[in-house]
Structure 1
Amino acid sequence: MKTSRFYSLVKILMLGCFLLALGGCAATQVALGKKDLDVQTRTSTAIFVDPVPQERRSIYLDVRSGVMEFDRRAFKQFVSEQFTQFNDSGYRLVDDPDAAQFQMIAYVLNLEKASPSAAEAALGQGYQGGAIAAGAAIGAVSDSGNRYRGAATGGVVGGAMEFVSGALVKDVTYMLVCDVQIKEKAADGAFVRKDTQIDTKVSDAGSSRQTVSEVSTMKEYRTRIVTTANQANLELKDAQDEMFKKTAFAFSGFF
């Protein structure tokens, strides 16, 4: 009986060592394949503003956010640098919205860990204007390092894998989702008509539809920008500057 228990224990330990080795190989692959920071920025829809004379190339920037982790001051600084140092079309940021030819209003919905599929979904939704909750825009947030958990169950092996999974290299993706609205003054004497349709459910028996027509002197363009940063064991503080820089570059690229 003692011999049987001994061999059972040996088998369990050998299986544990085997699984630990597999976990170590997986961690090594992630560490090597994700050792460099990879930041990508994509827009849901291209924006083409009308060309204007040099003296009218002015933009008022308004950045808003419902995300505590988002550093609005730092982000606006990156946008300012893009226009002052890298935009070769002569566009500049101004403080007076009435004096500006363009108004660019940005709303940051998310800046958090997410899965690659969540980033695709957020981009596919397009502009939402902050009308939906930030969490709903993203869906399930995934920490891909957790995929190792539960690889073995029971006894010594389960405890060993749980310990090692916490120490394995994690493949981490951060995502920034930003909705952008650009307003442009129409030509002198021109007016823009805007029709908005609002559908509201008033009860289980039916719904209500409202149609609002407005006339203004501003044309509107809307799009969504999604920026992702990926690296092994990535921390937000290490990704933030590059994410802000590439998102700010996309802002500048509209003009």
Structure 2
Amino acid sequence: MYKRMIVVALAATLLSGCAATQVAISKRDLDVQTKMSDTVFLDPVGADKKTIFVQIRNTSDKPELSVHDEIVAALGAKGYQVLQDPDAAHYILQANILQVGKAAPSAIEAAMQQGYGVSAVGGLVLGSGVAYATGSGGRGIAAAGLIGAIAETVAGAAVKDVYFSMITDLQLKERMRGKGKASVSSRHNLRQGNSGSTQVAYDEESEYKSYQTRIGSTANKVNLEFEEALPELKKGLITSISGLF
């Protein structure tokens, strides 16, 4: 009985160790990916219209995070002049960083599929583990299962498959050429406690065509720390935004 218990415990330990080792090897290098929820095409313009107003907001729980200056520099390198007056600019770029931090891959994917304006991701990534069968019956098997569980916990504590993400909503406005005007209509339901709501509607004309999209950047590595992930997440966001122009 005890021999069998030892064999099962050793097998469980090896399985846990193999799973942890596999994660450590396959995720040893930092992998950063950035994508947009929807493609945006802006009309090409002459040099005299390469003017833009930039407004970057951050409503995540990392208020110290800033990418404004880097985005302005990236746009300047492409020949765009950043203006302080939105009424004088040909383009208006508005961005809001919604979420920065740990998130499960499934939550990141859901946030990108939902697209602009929907709540960003939340939650933590669970540690990698391995499931195994030990058979049935006897205190020895129960003890072996306990030993295996401890081994798996130790292995999982030492090796974590960590994802960090940055989710940003982006709105672009492009001034219409000639005397063209855009018609804008909006309807909103404003909550009034638990008893009802107020409906608000407005219609107006605009000189701008508007586009909305969401940008998601992810960084993945075994035992990844936020300090290592953040510069690469920022770089992905900056490259994606400047790539629109």
TM class, shorter-chain normalised?
0.7 to 0.9
- Aligned to 2:86, the other structure's residue is in SS state coil
Go from structure 1 to structure 2 and tell me whether the alpha carbon gap of 1:33 and 1:146 turns closer, same or farther (over 3 Å shift): closer
- Aligned to 2:17, the other structure's residue is in SS state helix
Go from structure 1 to structure 2 and tell me whether the alpha carbon gap of 1:161 and 1:32 turns closer, same or farther (over 3 Å shift): closer
C-alpha displacement of 1:157 = 4.0
The reply on whether 1:19 has 2:15 as its aligned counterpart is no
The reply on whether 1:118 has 2:107 as its aligned counterpart is yes
Amino acid at match of 2:223: N
Matches within 5 A, 1:200-211: 210-211=200-201
Write the deviation string for residues 219-246 of structure 1: whole angstroms up to 9, x where unpaired: 2111111111111111111111111112
How large is the RMSD of aligned CA atoms in angstroms? 2.9
Matched positions, count:
236
What residue number does 1:247 align with? 237
C-alpha displacement of 1:179 = 0.4
Out of 123, 140, 145, which is 2:127 matched to? 145
| Contact 1:149 1:161 survives alignment (8 Å) | no
| Contact 2:61 2:99 survives alignment (8 Å) | no
Matched-pair identity in %: 33
The reply on whether 1:99 has 2:92 as its aligned counterpart is no
The reply on whether 1:159 has 2:141 as its aligned counterpart is no
Stretches of structure 2 that go unaligned for 5 or more consecutive residues are 135-141
C-alpha displacement of 1:50 = 2.5
TM-score when normalising by structure 1: 0.79
C-alpha displacement of 1:31 = 1.5
Go from structure 1 to structure 2 and tell me whether the alpha carbon gap of 1:23 and 1:160 turns closer, same or farther (over 3 Å shift): closer
Stretches of structure 1 that go unaligned for 5 or more consecutive residues are 1-6
Amino acid at match of 1:84: G
Go from structure 1 to structure 2 and tell me whether the alpha carbon gap of 1:184 and 1:120 turns closer, same or farther (over 3 Å shift): same
Q: How far apart, in 1, do the equivalents of 2:17 and 2:31 lie? A: 23
Q: How far apart, in 2, do the equivalents of 1:104 and 1:182 lie? A: 5
Write the deviation string for residues 80-134 of structure 1: whole angstroms up to 9, x where unpaired: 332234x3xx223333323322111101111121222212211111110xxx5xx
